[in-house]
């Protein structure tokens, strides 16, 4: 959109002369680490009078691709939405697909997916806090956070072979089972993470500069949070006590209900959102610890005879049933038989409620795969949050909302 001067409505301004307002383009390419989003700020000196977001600079047509790929292939696309915690997106997608198909996954798969989802949550919060701190000038917190994320990448690489975008879940289970080395790595992570977390909180929690820059900035009240459809840490920091892991339990969360708490705050400013994320990481660690100690054994995929999940490679090469079941799920005109229905399924990811609305038409590909993106909804409240603040508060508020451009634009 060409850059035009924004003329705010009359009631927004004090004074009849508007020519002192300065329009600043916070371009799609900008120094803050929040990729491609654009803000057109109208400034009165250094105070932001109005902020108009302009998005779409990363809109790649994900939902149109959803109509072209099948239920297993689409995880490659869904991975690339919230690219900070890709496994969580895959788990949410297959949660909805399994809800549509009516499949109940095995207990071992539930526990492994829970551990991966919580690791993804820790990874997301680490990057959000690291990037928010980097935008405010604290480079060391960023490096500490990325160091821990490398440990999480190692764990995901052991499970699936790739650091991120693992494409690990499948309809009815996972791509492969995890071994003892993975369990040992997760245990090692559980042991070493609290120290790194303490390092980051020692750097930032009572840091005078960080407090001055985030306390009282970008306040979101509880009624506004509900009205604007916020969810996740953004809503919980404003007092909305809602967490899908406790309210609509899925995976192994109802069995692990006692091992974690839901962290909420009252003030709703950037500092509250930062604290909620820091504490949520510790609660996630408790969930991982409980899950890894209580992991059930057994198969990780549902029974192959239900014709929903891909059989083992040895069965494919050595038995005729395995071969038939394999090509029934891969051949272009066969695949799953789905009910001609639509379903909405949501997970609590690090950013908020990530939901998928799938319309199925009986064939193996979705008719419509709609994503309910939490970043999109949270970016819409940004103009409301930034009004009246200084321009140096713009990266603070942006960082606290955890806007991920690929989920924003899809």
The reply on whether position 406 binds another protein by CB under 8 A is: yes
Q: Which is nearer to another protein, 100 or 292 (CB)?
A: 100
Residue 165 contacts another protein per CB under 8 A: yes
Nearer to another protein, 3 or 331 (CB): 3
H or E element that contains 29: none
Q: Which of 372, 300, 374, 363 is closest to 100 using CA atoms?
A: 363
Angle in degrees, 0-180, between the axes of helices 107-135 and 270-293, rounded to the nearest 10: 150
Q: In this structure, are residues 135 and 391 in contact, taking their beta carbons and an 8 Å threshold?
A: no
Q: Which of 40, 100, 109, 141 binds another protein (CB under 8 A)?
A: 100
Q: Closest separation between CB of residue 127 and another protein, Å?
A: 8
The answer to whether 405 contacts another protein (rule: CB under 8 A) is yes
| Choice from 127, 152, 178, 288 touching another protein (CB under 8 A) | 127
Based on the shown chain and the rule CB under 8 A, indicate whether residue 335 belongs to the binding site for another protein.
no
Query: By CB under 8 A, which span of 6-14, 162-170, 282-290, 295-303 interacts with another protein?
Result: 162-170
Calpha distance 295→368 (Å, rounded) = 35
| Binding of residue 63 to another protein (CB under 8 A) | yes
- When the beta carbons of 263 and 295 are compared against another protein, the nearer one is 263
Smallest gap, in angstroms, from Cβ of residue 351 to another protein? 14
Q: Indicate whether 293 belongs to the interface with another protein (CB under 8 A).
A: no
160 Cβ contact list (under 8 Å, min separation 6): 166, 167, 168, 175, 176
Residue 39 tokens read as: 């803000």
- CA gap 17, 25 in Å, rounded: 22
Whole-number Å distance between alpha carbons of 386 and 176: 46
Q: Does 59 bind another protein (CB under 8 A)?
A: yes
Among positions 188, 261, 344, 388, the unique one binding another protein when judged by CB under 8 A: 344
Plot region of 269 (φ>0 → left; ψ -120 to 50 → alpha; else → beta):
beta
Closer of 26 and 260 to another protein (Cβ): 26
Residues 346-385 interacting with another protein (rule: CB under 8 A): 346, 353, 355, 357, 359, 361-362, 367-368, 370, 372, 376-377, 379-381
| Site for another protein contains 312 (CB under 8 A) | no
**Choice from 6, 13, 23, 33 touching another protein (CB under 8 A):** 33
Per rule CB under 8 A, is residue 199 in the interface with another protein? no
Least distance to another protein, CB of residue 316, Å: 25
* Two structure tokens written together for 89: 């997106």
Q: How many residues touch another protein (CB under 8 A)?
A: 79
Whether the CB-CB separation of 323 and 316 falls below 8 Å is answered with yes
Interface region with another protein, contact rule CB under 8 A, candidates 57-65, 105-113, 312-320, 326-334: 57-65
What is the three-class DSSP state of 170? strand
Alpha helix stretches (DSSP H) within 161-259: 180-204, 208-214, 222-227, 233-236, 244-247
CB of 317 vs another protein, minimal distance in Å = 28
Residues of this chain, 211-250, that bind another protein according to CB under 8 A: 224, 226-231, 240, 242, 247-248
Residue matched to tokens 């650091």: 163
- Helix boundaries (H) for 294-353: 313-318, 320-330
**Relative orientation angle of helices 107-135 and 86-101, to the nearest 10 degrees:** 140
């Amino acid at each position: 959109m060409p850059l035009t001067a924004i003329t705010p409505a009359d009631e927004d301004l004090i004074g009849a002369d508007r020519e002192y307002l300065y329009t600043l383009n916070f371009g799609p390419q900008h120094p803050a680490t929040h990729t491609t989003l654009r803000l057109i700020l109208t400034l009165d000196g250094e105070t932001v009078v109005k902020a108009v977001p302009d998005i779409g600079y990363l809109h790649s047509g994900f939902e149109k691709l959803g109509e072209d790929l099948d239920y297993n292939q689409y995880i490659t696309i869904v991975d690339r939405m919230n690219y900070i915690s890709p496994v969580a997106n895959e788990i949410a997608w297959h949660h909805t697909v399994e809800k549509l198909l009516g499949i109940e996954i095995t207990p071992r798969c539930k526990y492994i997916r829970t551990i991966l989802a919580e690791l993804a949550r820790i990874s997301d919060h680490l990057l959000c806090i690291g990037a928010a701190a980097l935008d405010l000038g604290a480079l060391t917190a960023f490096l500490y956070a990325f160091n821990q994320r490398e440990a999480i990448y190692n764990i995901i690489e052991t499970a699936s072979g790739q650091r991120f975008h693992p494409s690990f879940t499948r309809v009815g289970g996972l791509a492969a089972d995890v071994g003892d080395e993975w369990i040992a790595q997760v245990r090692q992570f559980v042991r070493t993470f609290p120290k790194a977390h303490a390092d980051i909180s020692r750097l930032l929690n009572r840091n005078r500069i960080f407090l001055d820059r985030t306390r009282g900035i970008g306040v979101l009240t509880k009624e506004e949070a509900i009205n604007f459809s916020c969810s996740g840490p953004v809503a919980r920091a404003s007092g909305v006590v809602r967490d899908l892991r406790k309210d609509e339990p899925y995976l192994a969360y109802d069995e692990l209900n006692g091992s974690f708490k839901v962290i909420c705050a009252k003030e709703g400013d950037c500092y509250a959102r930062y604290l909620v994320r820091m504490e949520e990481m510790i609660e996630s660690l408790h969930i991982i610890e409980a899950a890894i100690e209580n992991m059930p054994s057994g198969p990780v995929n549902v029974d192959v005879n239900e014709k929903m999940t891909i059989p083992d490679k040895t069965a494919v090469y050595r038995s005729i049933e395995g071969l038939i079941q394999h090509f029934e799920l891969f051949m272009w005109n066969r695949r799953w038989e789905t009910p001609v229905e639509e379903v909405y399924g949501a997970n609590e990811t690090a950013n908020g409620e990530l939901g998928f609305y799938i319309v199925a038409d009986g064939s193996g590909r979705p008719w419509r795969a709609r994503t309910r993106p939490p970043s999109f909804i949270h970016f819409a409240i940004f103009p409301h949050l930034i009004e009246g603040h200084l321009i140096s508060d713009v990266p603070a508020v942006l960082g606290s909302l955890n806007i991920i451009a690929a989920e924003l634009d899809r």
